[in-house]
Amino acid sequence: MDEIDHIRQQWAEQRPEFDTKPTELIGRLLRVSQFISQQMENTFAKHGLNQAGFDVLATLVREGPPHSLTPNGLLARMMVTSGTMTNRIDQIEKQGLVRRQRNDTDGRSVVVTLTEKGLTVINAALEDHLITQASLVSTLNTEQRGMLTGLLKEWQKGSQIP
């Protein structure tokens, strides 16, 4: 019996009319999510990054050479607010991982481009990130991971979660 089982048992004793099965599922998902987030943050920190910086750099790498996007292009791919995006870009620009430069196709805007240093950092961080992810799911076999992925995808789709 773990802490979540104990919480459900307490609710069953105090308020037996409530169905706490959803609490068990959501509680476990939240704990797993928090653990995963912390492990990934530890991995990013080894490379001088956080989740936000990693996300921007990874998005630029996925675009392919020249690894550039406008801030609006980043916004569209990352689904964050413009203020959040500006802050993220500011932070990794201070680290020398990206640079802002005039957009050749629209002089009124800029593009955000990975620097050589940024490409080196994201490639190393990505490698460690994938190792961390593999370790995090290693307690589940391939079939279990596929089943869980499918279930979560159905839940996401059915709940209209982006």
Q: Where are the domains of the chain?
A: 16-158
Residue 55 has pLDDT above 90, yes or no: yes
Q: Which CATH topology does 16-158 take?
A: Arc Repressor Mutant, subunit A (1.10.10)
Banded model confidence at residue 120, pLDDT cuts 50, 70, 90:
very high
Q: 125: Cβ–Cβ under 8 A, 6 or more apart, which residues? A: 43, 44, 46, 47, 49, 54, 57
DSSP string, 68-122: EE-HHHHHHHHT--HHHHHHHHHHHHHTTSEEEEEETTEEEEEEEEE-HHHHHHH
CB-neighbour burial class of residue 122 (10 A; exposed 0-12, middle 13-18, buried 19+) = buried
pLDDT number for residue 43: 98
pLDDT of the residue at 161: 86
Please state the pTM of the whole predicted model.
Answer: 0.85
- State yes or no: pLDDT of 7 exceeds 80: yes
